[in-house]
Amino acid sequence: MTVAIGSMLVVLGTTGLMARGQGEADTGPQRLNMGAGWVTGVYYPLAGSMSRVAHAHIDDLSLTVESSGASVVNSNLIGSGDLDLAIVQNDVAYYAYNGLLREDFQRSPVTNMRGLFTLYPEPVQLVARADAGIRTPSDLAGKRVAVGPLGSGAEVNALQVLEAAGLTEGDLAAAERLEAGEAADYLRDGRVDAAFFTVGIGASVIADLAVAQRITVVSIDGEYADRLQAMEDFYARATIPADTYNQVGEARTIAVVSMVVAREDIPEEVIYRFVAGIFGNLDVIHSAHQAGRLVTLESALDGMPIPLHPGAERFFQEQGMR
Ligand code: GLU
């Protein structure tokens, strides 16, 4: 944030907006950072493609991408002012903004988070070793399970799936919080029996694992899906088609939606140009990952759980969508 006091210019905060001269507040060169997610997930390649769009097509805007545990930690870093933009799950954005569900969100609701646009569905993908005898979420009892990386939305979803199966972490032989790539390594080496990934279809963390190890994607459907949908509004039904991953059959599960958020104090003009630049160059996003092909203007406000940033509001108004 830049504040002019008399003729003196004071720059508050350490990241994001660069110091600029008076009168340039909305138009000078902007260097923003974006919290992405797992290097082996979809947020990270997609954020990379947004950075390329900014570099090639948006004047005076550059975007640095940071990998992270993902939705929960990204939300908290928006709250603390350490991130300018981030990709998060829409359920986590809702909990963060409204100060719900988790102690950290209850203590410090992320009220400075604003929505820009939604991206693509992220199914809860419960991956198990094919020989682990896990056919339903209830079969996780007594198993060693990677319940999502620390600070992830995947962990939020994993704990809700356990609850829908009438289980707590105490019913598992072990509940591990591993970085996504590490969870896949543990599964391959037999150090865990199953791992939760809430991630776009075709994420390399699962695709690569399926080549190295016989796995199944366990359906979370029927009574489990009913309970989860009753528990939280954000869950929709989703199908992961057979052969999405090497020799893995179809799975029916539940999904949330990923979205881009920004801090409310990023200038309207900057966010407007960013959003317009992304939707004017969707081919770059589409070619970054198969899940990126699901990003469309028509669906860009579907599942939006928090107020829009004024710059996004202006863009979607111009499109006749607000
Ligand atoms: N949806 C995941 C999470 O917030 C991140 C997935 C990704 O990095 O693509 O836990």
Query: What's 67's domain CATH number?
Result: 3.40.190.10
Is pLDDT above 50 for 83? yes
Separation of alpha carbons 68 and 43, rounded Å = 10
Distance 75 CA to ligand 1 centre (A): 12
Domain end, chosen from 210, 232, 256, is at 256
The number of angstroms, rounded, from the C-alpha of 320 to the middle of its chain's C-alpha atoms is 27
179 lines ligand 1 (CB under 6 A): no
Query: Is the C-alpha dihedral spanning 27, 47, 73, 256 positive or negative?
Result: positive
Residue 27 — very low, low, confident or very high, per pLDDT cuts 50/70/90? low
Same domain, yes or no, for 128 and 237?
yes
120 lines ligand 1 (CB under 6 A): no
41 lines ligand 1 (CB under 6 A): yes
Same domain, yes or no, for 192 and 268?
no
Which of 89, 120, 204 to mutate to test ligand 1, by most ligand atoms within 8 A of the CB atom? 89
Minimum-distance ligand 1 atom for the alpha carbon of 41: 9
Residue 189 — very low, low, confident or very high, per pLDDT cuts 50/70/90? very high
Same domain, yes or no, for 300 and 269?
yes
Same domain, yes or no, for 80 and 135?
no
The string of pLDDT tens digits covering residues 121-142 is: 999 999 999 999 999 999 999 9
Query: Which residue's CA lies nearest to atom 3 of ligand 1?
Result: 153
Q: What is the mean pLDDT of residues 91-115?
A: 98
Q: What is the mean pLDDT of residues 300-306?
A: 98
Same domain, yes or no, for 131 and 228?
yes
153 lines ligand 1 (CB under 6 A): yes
Q: What pLDDT does 28 receive?
A: 77
Q: What pLDDT does 26 receive?
A: 55
Same domain, yes or no, for 128 and 113?
no
198 lines ligand 1 (CB under 6 A): yes
Same domain, yes or no, for 106 and 182?
no
Same domain, yes or no, for 145 and 107?
no
By DSSP bridging, strand 144-146 and strand 174-176 are: parallel
Query: Which residue's CA lies nearest to atom 6 of ligand 1?
Result: 199
Minimum-distance ligand 1 atom for the alpha carbon of 151: 10
Q: What is the mean pLDDT of residues 303-315?
A: 98
Q: What is the mean pLDDT of residues 17-38?
A: 69
Residue at 255: amino acid letter: A
Domain end, chosen from 256, 272, 298, is at 256
Q: What pLDDT does 25 receive?
A: 53
Is pLDDT above 60 for 16? no
- Residue 69: domain span: 2-119+259-318
Same domain, yes or no, for 231 and 285?
no
Same domain, yes or no, for 93 and 186?
no
| Nearest C-alpha neighbor of 118 from the set 245, 320, 287, 285 | 285
Domains identified in the chain, total number: 2
Domain end, chosen from 207, 230, 256, is at 256
Contact by Cβ (8 Å): 132, 190: no
